[in-house]
Each structure stands twice: as C-alpha cells, then as structure tokens.
Amino acid sequence: MARRMKEKRSTASGLTLPRRLPRWLIVAVLTLTLLFLGATAAYSAYKSHRRRPPDQIHLAWLQNPATTMTVVWRTYRDDTPSVVEYRLQGATEWQQAVGTHLPSGTNGVLHDVTIEDLTPNTTYEYRVKGDYWNIWSNVATLRTAPLPNTGSFDVVYVADTGLVGRKDGLATGTQQIVDEIAKLNPLLVLAGGDYAYYDRDRRYKPLDQAIDVWFNQMMPIAHQSVMMPTFGNHEALLSENISLWAQRFATPEGFDDHRNYSFDVGNAHFVSIFAIYEQQGLPKATLKWIEDDIKAAKDSGKQWIIPFMHVSAFAEGASHPSNLALRAQLGPLFERTGVKLVLSSHDQAYERTYPLVDVPNAMTPTSTSKTCYTQNDGVTWIKTSPGGKKSNKSEAFSIFKNPTPPAWTAYRNNTMHVFTQLHVEPAGEVRVKTFGVKGDGSPPVVLDAFKYITGTCSSS
Ligand SMILES: [Fe+2]
C-alpha cells in the first residue's frame, strides 16, 4: 500500500494519477499513433496518385506503321507495370502488351510499350496502366497505317507551338491550334520543333518540368495520332538540352543518334532532318545519309518522299531569313531524288514556293499554277509557322522584309497561326491544305490549298 501511495500524485484539481504510466500502455499508445500516422500518409499518397491519372500519353512508330504501335506515357509510381490493353474497336475482350520503364526526367517513370501483330489500316481501342491496382487511362483509339496503295490518310505538320499561357502574351494561338488538330484527328502529326521556348518562358523549372507540360499540352493530339518529331534551334541550342527532349520521344534510331530518321506510311516516306542553325548547313555525313535514305525509299517503290525539318531554306520574314547554305545543299539533292514537298518552320509566317528546279541558282518555277502540279514539276518548299507562339523578335508574326514577294513565292500570309495538312490518296495524289487560326476561337480558315498528282492537271 505504501508503494502504491508513492506512485500516485495529486493534480491541482485534486484528481489522483499514477506517478508513472504502465509500460504496456505507453507502448500501445505509441504503436497506435504510428499506425495512425502511417495509414494517414498512405491514404493521402493513394488519394493524390488517384487524382493523377497516367499522363503524357503519346503514340509513335518505331517499327512497321501498318502492324505495330508504340505507346508512351508517364505514371507517378515507379513500380507501376508497363501494360497497354487494346482491342479492335467495338470488341469486348482486351488483349495485353507489356513493355519497359524509361526515365521520366521528373517524377515517376515513362512507360514504353510496342503493340505488335496489328491489322493494317484498322482502328483499335486502348488504355494504359495507371498507378495502383485498378487505375487505367480513359479508353482512346489508335489507328494503324494502310499498306501501300490501299488507303488514304492525313498528316499534319505543326511547329513553333510554345506553352499555353505565356506571361508575355505571345502564345495567342497555342490552345486553339491543339484543339483544331485534335478535332481533325490525323493519322500522323509531324512536330516541327521549337516546343517550349524555355529561354523566355521559365514558369516551369527545370527544363524537364517544361517538357512535361508540353507533352501534356499535346496529349489531346498525341494520344490519338502518332506524333513524330524533328527538333528546332530551341531544343538544341537555346538554354535547352536536346538529349532531354529526345529521350521523351520514341523514334527510330536513324542517323546520328535519332537526330535524323525516316519511316514509311502507305506509299509515302517521311524523313526527319535535324536542321537547327540559322545560316549553317548540314554536315556532309548527314547529307549522304539523307540521299541514301531517299534513294532506298524510291527503290522500294515509295511514291512520295516528304522531308520535314525545322529551319527553312525559303523564308522572307525578318525574324529568321532563309538558310541559304541549307538551300544550296538540299535544293539539288531533293531535285535529283524526286522530292516534291518539303516542310519546315522557324520563321513565324506561312510561305509556300512554286515548284522549283535549279535551286539555288535560277530557281525556276516549273508551273505558274497555284493549285495543281504533276510528277514533272519541281520541289515545293513550305514554311508553316507559327503553330501558336508569335515571334519574340517582332512580338507578332514575322514581318516580311519586302512588300513584294520574291518570284518564287506562290502564296504567303503572316496574319495567323498555321498548320499544314497533307491528305495522301492511294491513287496517286497528295492534297495540301494550310489552315489559319486566329486563336480567338473563330473557325480555322483554309489559307492555301494545292495538290501534286501522278497524272495530268486539268486546264482548270
Ligand atoms: Fe526556331
């Protein structure tokens, strides 16, 4: 009794408490507290991940575009398996394809899965695995390419996008450009470079965060259309790092560590060319690879060879003039290898040449038509820019140096954001349309339209 009395003490209110709490009680309270804190943290993490579905979903072609599709996305947990479920549109049973993790650059991991043995020219539904046991992306559609000469398809080239909501107000068309291309839902999108403009837009730091934002910004397009890039001076030179960009895209290895590569869709052959300098030309080894690549495509029967790049060989805007070295190198090369259409950007205005031969010397138009060309005509050089973000130099679209266009100009316009659509017909026709977008929600307008055919143009 005396001992028990010792272990008790009186409180100010007169209540009597044990002088020391029993050890079992202390252990129990501590254990319960830790369990509670752990469960709260786990639940909070679970809820936050649940609120963050898989993002940056984009499609690419690394192998045969008619029978395979590569899907890339990001999850926040790095133990989430790389699984895509897919099925023919309208079917009920899912099939699965598995792939690998890649570094995300920021939080979580990228997933890279290639689906194989698909049917050409066919629409599938798919969804990608998200974090936790039953989380998947929304069901979306993907399409395989047609076999040569069996089906038509659409391609869109867009470049110089910037990120939506820039503080300097120059991204006046970015959101609508994304919306309009997503509505068109082409089979393929050629991304022409100058994506995030990290040197002037530092809302998202470091660069990898800005790349995250760009991929999410493009997801309405790229989760349903295959997106194949080329890189611009911004990714390569201006406070950015091309390696950080390149590891986010899935591309064929090509030449010079993915910087130049090519792929076939139907009877068209696309060549991504790494052209980033304002005045400097391409290395000799790159030129040789381009020529060998185009000749091989021609030998295999490809009707249309379509090089795309960032810097323009034909540009009369004051922000970024023509790269004359590039013109001198690629003009003769494209003419002798049978190229008809070249896509580029960089200078923030739309310009399109007549079909030209003898570039860079006489630069003779082979036709005065504005709308129809044949296989006997020369090379048409298209500069499609900007795709959302105006020039920092002019704080507007690029201003033409001379009010009178050069003799080679078939059409030009520096009043709207633009993207160019190619409609490739199996019967031997490519119809080219360039859409202008103001960025105010008003409908896009067709600024320029022409075609190349394998037959003869009618007199109209
Ligand atoms: Fe550029």
What is the CATH number for 406?
3.60.21.10
Which structural domain, as residue segments, surrounds residue 139? 55-143
Q: Cβ neighbours of residue 74 under 8 Å, at least 6 residues apart?
A: 54, 55, 56, 104, 108, 109, 110, 111, 212, 215
37 located within any domain: no
- In angstroms, what is the span from residue 196 Cα to ligand 1's centroid? 11
Report the distance separating Cα 245 and Cα 236, nearest Å.
9
Are 377 and 434 in a shared domain?
A: yes
Q: What pTM did the predictor assign?
A: 0.90
CA 262 / ligand 1 centre spacing (Å): 21
The two beta strands, 153-158 and 188-191, are parallel
In this prediction, residue 173 carries a pLDDT of 97
Encoded amino acid at 455, one letter: G
Which candidate, 222, 230, 423, 218, places its Cα nearest to that of 308? 230
Dump pLDDT digits (tens) for 50-84. Answer: 568 999 999 999 999 999 999 999 999 999 999 99
Q: Closest by alpha carbon to 178, among 240, 224, 122?
A: 224
CA of 84 to the centre of ligand 1 (A): 35
> Both 160 and 133 in a single domain?
no
Of 208, 201, 193, 164, nearest to 275 (Cα)? 193
The per-residue pLDDT for 418 is 98
Distance, CA of 110 to CA of 82 (rounded, Å)? 9
Verify that 204 and 113 share a domain, yes or no.
no
Helix (H) or strand (E) holding 246: helix 242-246
Q: Do 187 and 284 belong together in one domain?
A: yes
Query: Distance, CA 78 to ligand 1 centroid (Å)?
Result: 35
Distance of CA 448 to the CA centre of its chain: 24
Domain boundary, last residue among 143, 167, 182:
143
CA distance 145 to 64: 9
Domain assignment present for residue 16? The answer is no
pLDDT in tens, 300-328: 999 999 999 999 999 999 999 999 999 99
In a domain, 12, yes or no: no
Q: Is 194 helix (H, G, I), strand (E, B) or coil?
A: coil
Is 137 in the same domain as 159? no
- Provide CB contacts within 8 A for 333, sequence distance 6+: 287, 290, 291, 294
Cα 277 to ligand 1 centroid, rounded to whole Å = 9
119: phi > 0 → left, psi -120 to 50 → alpha, else beta; which?
beta
The answer on 160 and 294 residing in a single domain is: yes
- Asked whether 154 and 121 are in contact (CB, 8 A), the reply is no
Residue 192 CA to ligand 1 centre (angstroms): 9
Looking at residue 12, its pLDDT comes to 46
Residues 284, 175 share a domain: yes
The candidate with the shortest Cα–Cα distance to 267, out of 160, 354, 176, 153, is: 153
Looking at the fold, whether 67 and 213 belong to one and the same domain comes out as no
pLDDT of residue 37: 86
Q: What is the domain count for the chain?
A: 2
The DSSP H or E segment spanning 59 is strand 55-60
Report CA(74)–ligand 1 centroid distance (Å): 27
Domain end marker among 143, 173, 201: 143
Output the domain CATH number for residue 81: 2.60.40.380
Q: Is residue 351 in some structural domain?
A: yes
Residue 233 included in any domain = yes
Residues of the chain short of pLDDT 50, as ranges, are: 1-13
Q: Any residues with CB less than 8 A from the CB of 378 and at least 6 apart, and which?
A: 335, 354, 355, 356, 357, 359, 364, 365, 366
- Kindly state whether residues 371 and 247 are assigned to the same domain: yes
d(CA 141, CA 366): 42
In a domain, 30, yes or no: no
Distance 351 CA to ligand 1 centre (A): 15
DSSP helix/strand/coil, 243:
helix
Query: Is residue 263 situated within a structural domain?
Result: yes
Q: What is the pLDDT of residue 48?
A: 58
In one-letter notation, the amino acid at residue 453 is: I
Partners of 140 in the β-ladder: 126
DSSP state at residue 390: -
| Same domain membership, residue 132 and residue 162 | no
139 plus 159 within the same structural domain: no
* Cβ-count burial 214-235 (b if 16+ within 10 Å, e if not): bbbbbbbbbbbbbbbbbbbbbb
Ligand 1 ion local residues (Cβ < 5 A):
194, 232-233, 346
How many residues are present in the chain? Answer: 460
Measured CA to CA, the distance from residue 36 to residue 42 in angstroms comes to 10
What distances in angstroms separate CA 304 from CA 233, 264, 266, one per listed residue?
27, 10, 10
Output the CA 220–ligand 1 centroid distance in Å. Answer: 23
Question: What is the Cα–Cα distance from 274 to 260, expressed in whole angstroms?
Answer: 6
Amino acid at 325: A
Query: Which of 95, 124, 143 is the C-terminal boundary of a domain?
Result: 143
CA angle 317, 323, 326 (to 5 degrees): 145
- Confirm whether 39 is domain-assigned: no
Same domain, 123 and 216: no
Task: For residue 202, report the distance from its CA to the centre of ligand 1, in Å.
Answer: 18
